[in-house]
Amino acid sequence: MAFLKTTPVLIVDDYNTMLRLIRNLLQQIGIENVDDATNGEEALAKLNAGRYGLCISDWNMPVMSGLDLLRQVRASEKLRRLPFILVTAESKTENVIAASKAGVSNYIVKPFNAETLRTKIDKVFATA
Amino acid sequence: MTAQPLHLHEAEDYLGRVIAVLHTMSPERKGPLVAVLDFLLGHIQRTRSDLNALRTDAQQPPLSNTVDELEEIVRETASATNKIMDATEAIERIAAGVPAETRDALRVEATRIYEASAFQDITGQRIAKAVRSLQQMEDQIGALVRGCCDDAAPADACLPLDADDLMNGPQLAGQANSQDDIDKLLASLGA
């Protein structure tokens, strides 16, 4: 996780409040280099244009959902290996299965705390 | 056997069939059903009206539909959450200039405030689901009432009811108490 201090994390959520919240929680666990997007389409453009170490995305968003963003990322030659965490209130079994099939790196159910965020990020990079 | 929950698209199908059956019923038999449906519709509309009355900004025009109400709730909670985070970030800036032990303790508390602020997103999504369901119920019941009242139903069967109107259940035509009957009944009860 140390390289996230220099390589930015992209957080994606259609609620500015939630973006601010995740940004603050990431700062609490030592990740300060954070960029954001408000939907999947905007996120995909940023991911293609830049270099990110991790994407943390909401599921339910207008324009392009987090699951569709994940599918686009995994279908991209450039981005397919990008660690990708879905953060969502959708905890139904079928949603988790769909995310897993799409290649999600980890899945965080809202509401969550800083420790859960840290644990999930650590796990993603331990298995990467 | 436990009844399975009805999905909205199934409810729509059932309601269509109910309307078709209602059209085959005589006005006398149909009237009470229409009255009940009208009561339900009125109840939903009153709930929306009550929500409107809870608005904090009287300068804004009345909300026209349930989605507006939802967005208003989400906006207000988001505004409150942002103020909480403003204050927390200010505390963190102040904490940077205090001894390490105090700074660390303040940071732990700031993290707890950030975590608790997630309520805004969660409640917003839950309210969205609940109100969408309410809106669809309102639409469906409204369609049902309109469907019942399209043909030869007696005009008074389609009048809106107050909650008190259903205290004893809907009355069949010809069996209803007249106002005089009611007045006499009340008098006999000492009212």
Please state, in angstroms and rounded to a whole number, the distance separating the CA atoms of residues A84 and A95.
Answer: 15
pTM over 0.90: no
**Which chain B residue shows the shortest CA-CA distance from A109?**
B122
pLDDT in tens, B36-69: 777 777 776 676 666 556 555 555 555 455 566 6
ipTM: 0.70
Does the pLDDT at position B6 exceed 80? no
**In this structure, are residues A2 and A24 in contact, taking their beta carbons and an 8 Å threshold?**
no
Question: What's residue B49's pLDDT?
Answer: 66
Q: Alpha-carbon distance A23 to A35, whole Å?
A: 9
Q: Which residues of chain A have pLDDT under 70?
A: 1-3, 128
Q: A21–B118: do the CB atoms touch at under 8 Å? A: yes
**Per-residue pLDDT tens over the stretch B82-128:** 899 899 989 989 988 899 999 989 988 988 898 888 887 777 777 77
Q: In sequence order, what are the residues at sequence separation of 6 or more whose Cβ sits closer than 8 angstroms to the Cβ of residue B134?
A: B44, B47, B66
Give dist(CA A78, CA A48) in Å, integer. 8
Q: Quick check: A17 contacting B, CB < 8 Å?
A: yes
State pLDDT tens for residues B124-167.
777 777 777 777 777 777 776 666 665 544 444 444 444 444 33
Summarize pLDDT for A89-104 with one digit per residue, the tens.
777 778 888 888 899 9
State the nearest Cα–Cα gap between B98 and chain A, in angstroms.
17
- Tell me the fold of A2-127: Rossmann fold (3.40.50)
Q: What pLDDT is attached to residue A20?
A: 87
Give the β-pairing of A54-58 and A34-37.
unpaired
Residue A113: its pLDDT value, please? Answer: 87
Q: What's the CA gap between B161 and B127, in Å, rounded? A: 28
Amino acid B173: pLDDT: 42
- Which residues of A, range 81-100, sit inside 8 Å of B by Cβ? 89
Please tell me whether the peptide bond between A83 and the residue prior to it is cis, using omega within 30 degrees of 0. Answer: no
pLDDT of residue B79: 86
Q: Chain-centre distance of CA B79, in angstroms?
A: 23
Structure tokens at B122: 């969660």
